[in-house]
Amino acid sequence: MNRDWRASLARRLILASQGTRFRGQGGYSPAAFAGRGDQRPFPQAERESSAFRDFYNLFPGIAVEAAIEGRDVLDFGSGYGGRTVDYARLSRARTVIGVEPFEAPVKLSRDYAASLGVSNVDFRLCTQTTIPLPDASIDVVVSYDVLEHVASPPDAVREIHRVLRPGGKAYLVFPVYFGAASHHLDYVTGLPGLHWVFSARTLVRAVNSILAEEPRFGTNQQPAPQLSFDARREVLPLLNGLSGWHLRDLFASFHVEAIRRHALLRRRPIARSITAFLTGPPAPFIVRDALTSSVACVLVKRAPR
């Protein structure tokens, strides 16, 4: 009874948000785009391409694009191929390989690259624990909003380290689980902090009750929550619970050149100053994570001694 009351409250909040700037954006599947009247053959890839430079902008003062030019690049979690193709055609990488654990986006990515006549890009199916590349075969790894989804971040980072050549760099951007806007429910609502107030199971019940009645969100029913990768808590579907306090151990095999937190509130000077302080080392990790929109990391594979 108490759980039903919580789910009912979460449902009411989500539905109320539809009349605000926090309204749901709808799903990201081909069917969802078609349901919104978008008949382009590659809408996801084109959306990714339109925001191509957003990734570089998350590394101010760091020449990521220059590091890519003329190099062999791996896009870890390449989505529908929009950014992956642009690493080749706009940033002039020598070769680019995109990996995804699902066949449908891999096929669409290949078709998208072929439609543009880009031949130095390849897309491959990976697993949750392996990247289908030889040891020390890549100069640069890029990854945008992926590490929070993998089943095991330690396995993913271990594979990234394996495929990099000595001295190679990984540029990784991802949100942390307890960030106010990191619940990944934006297909139905952008209300911040819902996963602070409600358990993962409560939110799944609320969201699924809405999706059962509102096909306009263009998303399938959500699976049950699972344990975080460190087995400490249940987390929302398709997320692994990766948090700021995991990063030191997670990146121990690399030389960490930079870790930068991007604060949620950055538009006004006063808010920017406050959040910059609260996302810095003096604040506890839980506070820092709460006000973080994403983390941008630059990791270097050490040369063997």
- Domains located in the chain, CATH noted: 2-27+189-225 (no CATH), 43-174+243-264+294-300 (3.40.50.150)
d(Cα 96, Cα 123) in Å, to the nearest integer? 8
Question: What pLDDT does 280 receive?
Answer: 60
Question: Are the C-beta atoms of residues 200 and 235 closer than 8 Å to each other?
Answer: yes
Sheet strands (E) in 133-183: 138-144, 164-174
Name, in order, each residue with C-beta under 8 angstroms of 258's C-beta and a sequence gap of 6 or more: 59, 62, 296, 297, 298
Question: What pLDDT does 279 receive?
Answer: 59
Record the pTM. Answer: 0.94
Question: Residue 294, Cα to own-chain centre: how many angstroms?
Answer: 9
pLDDT tens-digit series, residues 58-82 = 999 999 999 999 999 999 999 999 9
Question: 276 falls in which pLDDT band (50, 70, 90)?
Answer: low
In 3D, which of 204, 279, 213 has the Cα closest to residue 239? Answer: 204
User: What burial class does residue 3 get, using C-beta atoms within 10 Å of its C-beta: 0-12 exposed, 13-18 middle, 19+ buried?
Assistant: exposed
pLDDT tens-digit series, residues 163-205 = 999 999 999 999 999 999 999 999 999 999 999 999 999 999 9
d(Cα 278, Cα 156) in Å, to the nearest integer? 29
In 3D, which of 267, 288, 255, 280 has the Cα closest to residue 177? Answer: 288
Q: In degrees rounded to 5, what are phi and psi of residue 77? A: 85, 70
Asked if residue 281 has pLDDT above 70, the reply is no
Name, in order, each residue with C-beta under 8 angstroms of 254's C-beta and a sequence gap of 6 or more: 157, 161, 170, 299, 300, 301, 302
